[in-house]
Amino acid sequence: RFRTHISSFSLEFGKTVIIALVAVLFIRTFITKPFLVNGSSMEPNFYNGDYLLIDEVTYRLKPPARGEVIVFKYPGNPKSFYIKRIIGLPGEKIVIRNGVISATKDNEKILIKEDYTVPLRTLSTFEAELKDNEYFVMGDNRNFSFDSRNWGPLQSNKIIGLVRLRLWPLTKIMFFDAPDYEPKDN
């Protein structure tokens, strides 16, 4: 009788473990992926060693939005994954002049004012015209980021997902939303 309880418990425990493993594999494969930040291009918002969860479902339901932080396959090497912030959307013209970033589409200009980034220190001018399914991405540490200014627009099929949650370090656990940018005349 004692053996029957042990074998019954073992069978139930085994089923529970299998169900948990299948659930974890399903979630990790189709819903979220872990990502470890490597480097300083996203400081002061994300630091080397931060452990993040990436939402892989949202962009199947809606297109990426300005200000969202994404993880993507680097266009120069699809085995490398990068983390950057979306600055420009498909069909926009991005202009960086004297450290000020603007996006224009259909004569509507948006100044990208970001108090959460390291200010861009440059007196030069940069322009990029985005095609359909192209995004302009930059690191938050604007002066030390290898991004769309260096290798061009990011195609939408390279995007893995949206950064939703920082899990590590424990003192900095938080959910992330995109900032709101207001259209400006000029």
Active site residues: 41, 84
- Using CA atoms, how far apart are residues 166 and 177, in angstroms rounded to an integer? 12
Residue 134 vs residues 63, 82, 128, 137: alpha-carbon distances, Å: 11, 16, 11, 10
Quick one: tokens of 35? 């990502």
Tokens 């939005």 belong to residue = 65
Contact yes or no for 136/153 (Cβ under 8 A): yes
